[in-house]
Amino acid sequence: MAQRGELDMVLHVGDFAYNMDESNGETGDEFFRQIEPISGYIPYMAAVGNHEYYNNFTHYVNRFTMPNSDHNLFYSYDVGPVHFIVFSTEFYFYTGWGYHQIENQFKWLTNDLKKANANRHNVPWIITMGHRPMYCSDFDGDDCTKYESIIRTGLPLTHGYALEKLFFEYGVDVELWAHEHSYERLWPVYNRTVYNGTRHPYVDPPAPVHIITGSAATHLES
pLDDT of residue 215: 74
pLDDT of residue 198: 86
pLDDT of residue 71: 93
pLDDT of residue 216: 62
Distance of alpha carbon 18 from alpha carbon 48, whole angstroms: 13
pLDDT of residue 214: 84
Low-confidence ranges of the chain (pLDDT < 70): 216-222
Domains of the chain: 10-213 (3.60.21.10)
Q: Is 217 exposed, middle or buried (0-12, 13-18, 19+ CB in 10 A)?
A: middle
Residues in a beta bridge with 190: 193
List C-alpha distances in Å: 81 to 38, 63, 78: 24, 28, 7
Q: Nearest 5 degrees, angle CA 112-CA 117-CA 121?
A: 130
The answer to whether the CB of 186 falls within 8 A of the CB of 210 is yes
Backbone angles phi, psi at 175, to 5 degrees: -120, 115
